[in-house]
């Protein structure tokens, strides 16, 4: 019976992963085809395969395609990062955008643009390094002979609020042109996504995603408890540190590419866990994240009367879920 149950769970995980991949492909092609002008699917596929199609090569190949690829990569990174945090800390609030890591990248980028006058790739590098620094600061502040999920969440929220105050202060001192340039780092947007931004993001995701999946096997052992995992040859604190490095790296590179796309990391894990109960939902969470970012960008840029950044759409979806989660916690006596 146990073996049959494992087979059923594996089969369900495979079916869910395939279904999510199909949804992502459909959204990807829809994003490339539909815009101010409709490009036939045949021309879209021709551009993707490298053929020169008059008109479509520019519209699809140079404008829509890098934006769609960025959306997929950012969604994969945020979805996987959020699931790693939530599973490791056993707390649904422990996602990078809730505990201040995204604010760390955003605050550093805003300071670099508005006060230091920097621009281009150097801002992205500063955002990645700052996200890592904030994550380790939160980790050290919350470490008391071990890591407790609720303590890390509370400290992370406090650090995030301080960084948000820094962002507000910088914007009050910046001129209007610099403030407008920094806007992408406050809401999360794919409007300025071009191939020069896609390449470093793709390389980072290609390195960090396999590392996260390998660490996922150790994370499953870690769920048995610190003593049991250590007895099985998986040191608890060392494993958490490696998972933290990979998860923060995923969040930082995604934020550097598109800004803090709100609630994608927060939503992806719980949605994936409902789709594949009883399994560690790393791959489904990554796929859910990609689907969320693609869908939100399509809605914000194509379906609404005015164009809205992708972070506004994901924030409008994620905020009600956060309120529901907190309300449920209150009914259960404060336990999430």
Domain edges within the chain: 66-331
Q: What is the CA radius of gyration of the chain?
A: 20
| Contact residues for 127 (Cβ-Cβ < 8 A; gap 6+) | 105, 106, 108, 109, 185, 252, 255, 256
CATH topology of domain 66-331: ABC transporter involved in vitamin B12 uptake, BtuC (1.10.3470)
Q: pLDDT of the chain along its 336 residues, tens only? A: 556 666 777 788 889 999 999 999 999 999 999 888 888 889 999 999 888 888 888 888 888 999 999 999 999 999 999 999 888 888 877 788 778 888 888 888 888 888 888 877 888 888 888 988 998 888 888 877 666 667 888 888 889 889 988 888 888 887 777 777 777 777 888 887 888 888 889 999 999 999 999 888 888 887 777 777 777 777 777 788 888 889 989 998 898 888 888 889 988 988 998 888 877 889 999 999 999 999 999 999 888 888 888 988 998 888 888 777 767 665 554 454
Q: Are 72 and 286 in contact (CB under 8 A)?
A: no
Q: Which of 160, 267, 143, 254 is nearest to 198 (CA)?
A: 254
147: helix, strand or coil: strand
């Amino acid at each position: 019976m146990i073996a049959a149950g494992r087979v059923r769970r594996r089969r369900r995980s495979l079916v869910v992963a395939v279904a999510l991949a199909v949804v992502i492909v459909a959204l990807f092609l829809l994003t490339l085809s539909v815009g101010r002008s409709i490009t036939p699917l045949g021309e879209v596929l021709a551009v993707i395969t490298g053929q020169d199609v008059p008109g479509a090569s520019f519209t699809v190949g140079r404008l829509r395609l890098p934006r769609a690829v960025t959306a997929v990569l950012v969604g994969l990174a945020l979805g996987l990062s959020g699931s790693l945090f939530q599973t490791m800390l056993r707390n649904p609030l422990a996602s990078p955008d809730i505990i201040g890591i995204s604010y760390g990248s955003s605050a550093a980028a805003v300071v670099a643009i508005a006060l230091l006058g920097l621009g281009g790739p150097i801002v992205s590098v500063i955002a990645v390094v700052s996200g890592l620094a904030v994550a380790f600061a939160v980790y050290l502040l919350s470490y008391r002979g071990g890591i407790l999920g609720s303590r890390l969440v509370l400290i992370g929220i406090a650090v995030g609020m301080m960084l948000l105050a820094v962002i507000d202060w910088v914007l009050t001192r910046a001129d209007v042109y610099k403030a407008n340039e920094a806007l992408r780092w406050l809401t999360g947007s794919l409007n300025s996504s071009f191939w020069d931004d896609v390449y470093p993001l793709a390389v980072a995701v290609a390195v960090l995603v396999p590392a996260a999946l390998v660490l996922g096997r150790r994370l499953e052992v870690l769920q048995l408890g610190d003593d049991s995992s250590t007895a099985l040859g998986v040191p608890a604190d060392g494993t958490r540190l490696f998972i933290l490095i990979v998860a923060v790296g995923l969040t930082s590179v995604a934020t550097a590419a598109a800004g803090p796309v709100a609630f994608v990391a927060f939503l992806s894990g719980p949605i994936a866990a409902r789709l594949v109960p009883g399994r560690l939902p790393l791959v489904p969470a990554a796929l859910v994240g990609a689907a969320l970012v693609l869908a939100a960008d399509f809605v914000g840029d194509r379906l609404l009367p005015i164009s809205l950044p992708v972070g506004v759409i994901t924030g409008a979806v994620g905020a009600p879920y956060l309120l529901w989660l907190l309300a449920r916690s209150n009914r259960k006596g404060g336990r999430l």
